[in-house]
A and B are shown apart, each in its own frame.
Chain A
Amino acid sequence: MADGSIGTPAIGASVRRREDYRFLTGQGTYTDDINRPGQVYAYILRSPHANARIGGIDTSAAASSPGVVAVFTGKDLEADGIGGLPCGWLINSKDGSPMAEPPHPVLVTDRVRHVGDHIAVVIAETLGQARDAAERIDIDYAVEPAVVDSVAALRPGAPLVWEQAPGNVCYDWHLGDSAAVETAIGKAARVVKLDLVNNRLVPNAMEPRAAIGEFNRATGEYTLYTTSQNPHVIRLLMGAFVLHIPEARLRVVAPDVGGGFGSKIYHYAEEAIVTWAAAKVRRPIKWTADRSESFMSDAHGRDHVTHVELALDADAKFLALKVSTLANMGAYLSTFSTCIPTYLYGTLLAGTYTTPAIYVETKAVFTNTVPVDAYRGAGRPEATFLLERIVDLAADELGIDPAELRRRNFIARDAFPYQTPVALQYDSGDYQTTLDMAMEAAGYAGFEARRREAAGRGKLRGIGIATYIEACGIAPSAVVGSLGARAGLFESAAVRVHPTGSVSILTGSHSHGQGHETTFAQLVSDHLGIPIDSIEIVHGDTAKIPYGMGTYGSRSLAVGGSAIIKAMDKVIAKGRKIAAHLLEAAEADIEFKDGEFTVAGTDRSKSLGEVALTAYVPHNFPHDELEPGLDETAFYDPKNFTFPSGAHIAEIEIDPDTGHLTVLNFTASDDFGRIVNPMIVAGQVHGGLAQGIGQALLEGCVYDTETGQLLTGSYNDYAMPRAADFPNFVLSTHVTLCTHNPLGVKGCGEAGAIGAPAAIANAIVDALKHLGVRHVEMPATPERLWRTIQEHQTRAAAD
């Protein structure tokens, strides 16, 4: 159905997004659009220093400033017994000891640990008054040396971020068979080695974070409106660990949310501050981040320093992979920070290959920087980047085409289910086909002619392949629980069939741009045979939806969608019983198809609407057997992760005079399992590619290594990708079904950001390898590329 407004579109139709009318006409309701009666405004006073001891905080002048309702500091929270922000995943070190888990206060009391750290909140009638008053807070800082990068933080004598973490080490984790890897390296025909950095990124959701706290004195109920990807998780964490409010008295609403990319998964201090303070001042309190605050308080992503070694035999078959990574945690442990460079990273290091022995060790390091947590891809881009870089480097060293080296080492399409040496069992995939598709679409075979043509114009042209595997649909609760997760990772759905046959779906997933209101409605329309306009998707409000885990890790369709299917099947099962009663037939003879319950082999049928009406007006109803109503809830706990995969190919050209790089062509061939809405999938891939190419070429969070100041604290200095930076993306999909969820879906939200950085980096090295270049760090800015060319030309001349 082209316009998506009517009918019962099948799974696989590019239904236009139902939510876009309100988004594109400015009629969405985002947190900052909500205003509550009597609302006042919060301004958070943040640290200008990266590391300083606080001798004292004098708020008296601020408290008496015009319009000020209250000023609170960490001492006020302490006095109320308010807890710290919890970390949701326990990682144990190699020796079995638990990670260092220092406190994460909502407002600090005696020390600031990064620029932007929370010190005090000023609540006033207007935001301007709150800001004015905040400037009158007098703080006695004793500034101390700061450390911002993970390598420096491990050096003897480095500033110590936490006394509880000697040497700034949070944990020293490992996975895999070290002895097998060392043995394989010892007998290898060749061992290829590389040091690389995965650059720190700032998420930059279009909508800055915001929160409104409200307390109803009459009922004792709290409400938090917040920019969250998972309102139930926020209610649990904030209610149970921070503010000690039982679920029944705490409602969390995440209305329309304008992008998250992971950064809105976590429980942030501001949410607790406005909720707690709303009860103190008996007024609703709104806080909205400005962009500068987003840069210094949203959890950042990536920031790995890695050494990798790949051992190959004489036939260029991979024998072993050895990886050693430093992961920068920042100054505090954000909600899921600890699992990203471990179980969402190390477990992905088999990639698409049959490497029989893998060993990975990750040392997580505290620094005086903003906390680092999941950002689109979360661990999997980091794994893919190092793996695809070392594979390309091996191809170059062995003189084998990168596509051929990959072909020799792919897991074959008939080898599934495939058990990797790093815990995961892949259920399905077809890596050679997606690579073949990408190579065909990218004109890989004709590239050398294009390289020569570019050389004739004085340009350096390169082509780069990256294949990837990701683990999505997180995750079997029992599995993640055994690995240290402090949460379950199922999803919930309620299917509420109304008396006349329209349907409300209450989902624990949360859409912050993904188009669930369309995709989920397609599932329901397809499964129940009712028009899409009769289907309402409800999400984001703990007062409405069953307990659910939210949206991240490309899990909404695979886990949330499966829960919807499961709940619909319960509705259909009950409907069959009701229809059997109405049609005076045996239940076993009732078939359900296209919205009709039919006695098999006859034209006698009852529509879903008729059955629903009977369920709610149960005059003629099998009361002995059934309860009235047609309203079913299901919880779906996945049996395994899903494993989207694919191949990306980038073709680039570098101007050696300036280092300026142009992306000429970008091809992505992906296997996302069954596709519900190809247009939405393409949009997800486009966005992911933009962020992945952005990481490769433009984006990089930079701190001053002396002062700990955030140097890329605005769009003047943090380079966001723009449409003009990209060619038209050439996309295709290949389907191998997920074998363990009812839809056969795998997830598509992160793929672009996972494959693209390595494809671009490989293309750059391909363009420069004749100069002896083995690697170029990200972001590959014009100066970095120019300098790399200069240095290698100088070296070549000297030789």
Chain B
Amino acid sequence: MYEFDYHRPTSLDDAAGRLSDEDAKLVAGGMTLIPTLKLRLAKPTQLIDLGALPGLTGITEDGDSVVIGGMTRHADVNRSEVVKRVVPALAAMAGLIGDPAVRNRGTIGGSIANNDPAADYPAGVVALNATVRTNKREIAADDFFTGLFETALEPGEIVTAVRFPKVAMANYQKFRNPASRYAIVGVFVARTSAGVRVAVTGAGASVFRVPAMEAALTASFTADAIKDIAIPDDGLNSDIHASAEYRAHLVTVMARRAVAACG
């Protein structure tokens, strides 16, 4: 890796202040950034480690929702009794991320701020209609993920927590890339009091919802209700592992299976 200055601030304000340097980078779990640095694909001036900030780690129940600190590890979400009770599908999803080493280092804040098109969390955040908290404001899930590796986060803004409302029924189905084990397609289906949400990761530049499926499932929450809803492959990801056509097909299959698994 190239040389950089390393900082480990102990206050959010200090961390945010250092982001005035536009070539500074935040590091949470480092599961994406560190390999990128080792391959010399990034050349930050400063690395700002969020690991010493107080109050960013942990899972709390807050009325009808669960609040997960931005620096909370995937393994902790996967094992949390609170998450398993309030949004069990999210705990299960966290257990499908990467491998044990990644799950013990990677964080929810790091994952959603990076917004890798094949990451799992964006599907969970959008389908569960979560709210992203930052040091400056709250951002609705639908507004947070804006494009390929792009989010609504502004310069100097740091994810502090994500709030997930209690959900009646939800399930995440992931079709893994055989090499990286990222999602070739992951579909998170949630049935909440506010309606049904279907969020897809892996297939497009960024997570997206499927309104036609949501409407059909609102009318009849059965796998059969969406079996003939095909999404267009136009604009979907295509690579040596999966063509756009195949990904479009998998979206319907995974959505159907997620609904069926909601039982």
List chain A positions with a Cβ less than 8 A from chain B. 128, 131-132, 292, 657-658, 660, 697-698, 702, 711-712, 715-720, 781-783, 786-787
Contact = CB atoms under 8 A, between A and B. Distances in A.
Interface of A: prevailing SS: loop
Interface residues of B, number: 18
Interface of B is mostly: loop
Interface in B1-31: 1-3
Contact of A717 (B2, B241, B250): B241
A718 B250 CA distance: 21
A781 B178 contact: yes
Interface string B154-171: 000000000000000000
A715 B180 contact: yes
A705 to B, nearest CB: 12
A134 to B, nearest CB: 11
A783 B246 contact: yes
A128 B179 CA distance: 29
B37 interface: no
A716 B177 CA distance: 9
B175 A719 contact: no
B179 A720 contact: yes
A297 to B, nearest CB: 16
Given A131-B40, A786-B246, A786-B249, A717 B240 contact: yes
B246 A719 contact: no
A715 B243 CA distance: 19
B39 interface: yes
27 contacts: A128-B3, A131-B40, A292-B39, A658-B253, A660-B175, A698-B178, A698-B179, A702-B240, A711-B240, A712-B179, A712-B240, A715-B180, A716-B179, A717-B179, A717-B180, A717-B240, A718-B179, A719-B177, A719-B178, A719-B179, A720-B179, A781-B178, A782-B175, A782-B178, A783-B241, A783-B242, A783-B246
Contacts of B243: 783
A787 B241 CA distance: 13
Contacts of A712: 179, 240
Contacts of A719: 177-179
A128 B4 CA distance: 13
Nearest to A700: B240
Nearest to A292: B39
Contacts of B250: 658
Interface of B: 1-3, 39-40, 175, 177-180, 240-243, 246, 249-250, 253
Report which residue of A657, A718, A720 has the largest number of chain B beta carbons within 10 angstroms of its beta carbon.
A657
A709 to B, nearest CB: 12
A718 B241 CA distance: 10
Nearest to B254: A658
B10 to A, nearest CB: 29
Nearest to A290: B38
Contacts of B249: 786
Contacts of A697: 178
Nearest to B1: A128
B180 A716 contact: yes
A715 to B, nearest CB: 6
Give the interface centre of A660, A697, A716 by most chain B CB atoms within 10 Å.
A716
A495 to B, nearest CB: 46
A782 B241 CA distance: 9
Given A658-B250, A716-B180, A786-B246, A781 B175 contact: no
8 smallest CB-CB distances across A and B, nearest first, come from: A719-B179, A719-B178, A716-B180, A783-B246, A657-B253, A717-B179, A702-B240, A783-B242
Query: Most B CB atoms within 10 A — which of A658, A660, A702, A786?
Result: A658
Nearest to B243: A783
A781 B241 CA distance: 8
B85 to A, nearest CB: 28
Contacts of A702: 240
Contacts of B240: 702, 711-712, 717
Contacts of A132: 2
Nearest to A715: B179
A658 B250 CA distance: 7
A41 to B, nearest CB: 15
A683 B40 CA distance: 38
B39 to A, nearest CB: 7
B56 to A, nearest CB: 28
A66 to B, nearest CB: 11
B76 to A, nearest CB: 23
B109 to A, nearest CB: 23
A604 to B, nearest CB: 64
Given A715-B180, A782-B242, 12 more contacts: A658-B175, A658-B253, A698-B179, A702-B240, A711-B240, A712-B240, A717-B179, A717-B241, A719-B177, A719-B179, A783-B242, A786-B246
Nearest to A781: B178
A548 to B, nearest CB: 38
A697 B177 CA distance: 13
Contacts of A131: 40
Contacts of B253: 657-658
Which interface residue of B175, B177, B180, B246 has the most chain A CB atoms within 10 A? B246
A787 B242 CA distance: 11
B229 to A, nearest CB: 15
A236 to B, nearest CB: 37
Nearest to A716: B180
